[in-house]
């Protein structure tokens, strides 16, 4: 039998924006596209950019956008960010944060779990990125102390540890609100989330690093790891 043809990754699409943050987003997208061997596309401004970007997201692997820039802001975020984060067909990276995080100086990726069904997607995506970057992986769950709780705040972390069995990582249960945890555990180069609720919104407004909001179904990185990949992800 012949070799299986290699799958060509979908494009990494950077939202065209000549503001300082727009240029930072383009640099981030360019570096990521080079790592994954994907084509890079720059989406120019259009009359209905939000609608057009949602259409582009159906054929892209990733859309990268600045958290604010030339297209106007709503509550200190680009007016394009929330519609993309909520409705894009592919993953979205919102570029923000410190220069250290933008350079990848922390050598850490943080997967933020919330206890919902999308946590497996968050973990799969975080493992992929740590493998690409040769970075450490941290799992973070924020649960503020309450007098009475209907849930067990330790469950999301325990489930993440089970999913990540065999993958080197650290886990943190932060007894604080999500925005406080995101600010406190700021020594990271990327936050990975998948929920569409207050935790992601807190990250979009308060993170000191780029934020990846995952959309597509998990790839088989947790179920079928090659020895070489496992060694790289464990570093």
Ramachandran category for residue 23: left, alpha or beta (phi over 0 → left; psi -120 to 50 → alpha): alpha
Q: Which of 174, 178, 170, 172 is nearest to 137 (CA)?
A: 170
The confidence band for 17, taking pLDDT boundaries of 50, 70 and 90, is: confident
| pLDDT reading at 88 higher than 70 | yes
The confidence band for 233, taking pLDDT boundaries of 50, 70 and 90, is: very low
Q: What token pair was written down for 232?
A: 């790289």
Number of residues written out for the chain: 235
Lowest mean pLDDT among 36-40, 138-142, 176-180, 213-217: 213-217
Q: What pLDDT digit, counting tens, does each position of 170-217 carry?
A: 999 999 999 999 999 999 999 999 988 899 999 999 999 999 999 976
Q: Which of 117, 114, 234, 132 is nearest to 190 (CA)?
A: 132
Residue 191 neighbours by CB under 8 Å, 6+ apart: 110, 112, 182, 203, 207, 209, 210, 211, 212
| pLDDT reading at 231 higher than 50 | no
The confidence band for 68, taking pLDDT boundaries of 50, 70 and 90, is: confident
As a whole number of angstroms, the distance between CA 89 and CA 210 comes to 19
pLDDT of residue 74: 60
Backbone dihedral angles phi then psi of residue 8, each to the nearest 5 degrees: -85, 125
As a whole number of angstroms, the distance between CA 131 and CA 158 comes to 22
Buried/exposed 203-222: b ≥16 CB within 10 Å, e otherwise? bbebbbbbbbbbbbebeebb
Q: How far is CA 176 from CA 13, 41, 141, 185, in A?
A: 35, 39, 9, 11
Over residues 63-80, the mean pLDDT reads 79
pLDDT of residue 197: 86
As a whole number of angstroms, the distance between CA 193 and CA 234 comes to 20
Over residues 89-97, the mean pLDDT reads 96
pLDDT greater at residue 49 or residue 225: 49
Hey, what domains does the chain have and what are their CATH numbers?
A: 12-95 (3.40.50.620), 99-233 (3.40.50.620)
Could you tell me what percent of the chain has a pLDDT over 90? 74
Backbone dihedral angles phi then psi of residue 85, each to the nearest 5 degrees: -60, -35
Q: What token pair was written down for 180?
A: 């406080």
| pLDDT reading at 23 higher than 80 | yes
Backbone dihedral angles phi then psi of residue 122, each to the nearest 5 degrees: -60, -45
Over residues 124-140, the mean pLDDT reads 97
């Amino acid at each position: 039998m012949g070799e299986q043809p290699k799958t060509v990754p979908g494009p990494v699409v950077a939202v065209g924006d000549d503001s300082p943050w727009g240029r930072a987003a383009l640099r981030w997208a360019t570096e990521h596209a080079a790592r994954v061997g994907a084509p890079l596309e720059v989406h120019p401004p259009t009359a209905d950019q939000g609608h057009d970007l949602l259409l582009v997201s159906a054929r892209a692997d990733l859309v990268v956008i600045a958290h604010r820039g030339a297209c106007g802001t709503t509550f200190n975020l680009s007016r394009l960010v929330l519609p993309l984060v909520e409705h894009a067909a592919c993953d979205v990276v919102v570029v923000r944060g410190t220069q250290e995080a933008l350079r990848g100086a922390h050598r850490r990726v943080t997967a933020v779990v919330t206890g919902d069904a999308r946590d497996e997607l968050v973990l799969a995506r975080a493992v992929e990125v740590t493998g690409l970057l040769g970075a450490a992986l941290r799992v973070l769950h924020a649960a503020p102390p309450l007098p009475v709780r209907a849930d067990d705040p330790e469950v999301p972390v325990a489930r993440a540890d089970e999913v990540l069995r065999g993958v080197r990582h650290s886990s943190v249960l932060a007894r604080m609100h999500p925005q406080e945890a995101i600010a406190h555990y700021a020594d990271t180069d990327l936050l990975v989330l998948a929920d569409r609720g207050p935790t992601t919104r807190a990250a979009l407004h308060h993170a000191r690093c780029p934020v990846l909001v995952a959309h597509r179904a998990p790839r088989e990185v947790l179920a079928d790891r090659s020895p070489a990949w496992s060694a790289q992800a464990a570093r």
